């Protein structure tokens, strides 16, 4: 049987995977600091048709993520109940496999959406967008890692 720390580890692992999936997908539409690709439509020369197609791809992946999150939450609650009730290990293993299957499906959809986005944008647009993302990430890292400065105290 899994003890409390093992249960926590299972939960953290599942949550980490889900967050990493979300970060990869949503970075195009809703990155931190309002750095959406649509904010740079002119610089990237994104056509109206491309914007429509990208928004459709993003909406589809966000909807799928919401559905998979709800499914995972239900199965995690079921797993937690099984652990509390000291259920049969075979049933726990089956529940873990169900959770893993849902995660695999979400990962596959994530890969498919990334490829759809890469197909939608030209090579030049992708290169420019990746450069913008790198620049934004570096600026975020600098602001997050910079030590706070002390203000001078005047008597």
Question: Rounded to two decimals, what is the model's pTM?
Answer: 0.62
Domain assignments of the chain as residue spans, ordered by start:
1-27+57-130
What does the pLDDT look like over 39-49, one tens digit per residue? 999 999 999 99
Mean pLDDT over 92-118 rounds to: 94
Contacts of 22 (CB under 8 A, 6+ apart): 65
Calpha distance 69→18 (Å, rounded): 8
Cα distances (angstroms) measured from residue 50 to each of 94, 96, 142? 42, 39, 33
Residue 50, pLDDT > 50, answer: yes
- Range list of H helices, the chain: 4-26, 41-44, 48-84, 89-120, 123-145
Residue 138, pLDDT > 90, answer: no
What does the pLDDT look like over 9-39, one tens digit per residue? 444 444 444 444 444 443 444 444 445 889 9
Two tokens, residue 151 = 């203000």
Pair 50, 121: CB distance under 8 Å: yes
Mean pLDDT over 78-82 rounds to: 96
């Amino acid at each position: 049987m899994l003890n409390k720390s093992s249960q926590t580890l299972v939960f953290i692992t599942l949550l980490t995977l889900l967050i990493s999936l979300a970060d990869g997908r949503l970075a195009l539409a809703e990155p931190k600091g309002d750095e959406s690709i649509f904010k740079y439509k002119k610089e990237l020369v994104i056509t109206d048709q491309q914007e429509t197609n990208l928004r459709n791809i993003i909406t589809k992946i966000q909807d799928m993520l919401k559905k998979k999150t709800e499914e995972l939450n239900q199965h995690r609650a079921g797993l937690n109940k099984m652990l509390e009730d000291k259920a049969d290990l075979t049933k726990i293993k089956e529940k873990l496999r169900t959770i893993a299957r849902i995660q695999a499906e979400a990962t596959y959809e994530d890969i498919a959406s990334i490829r759809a986005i890469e197909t939608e944008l030209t090579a030049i647009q992708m290169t420019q967008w990746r450069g913008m993302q790198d620049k934004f990430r570096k600026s975020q890292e600098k602001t997050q890692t910079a030590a706070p400065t002390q203000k001078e105290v005047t008597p």
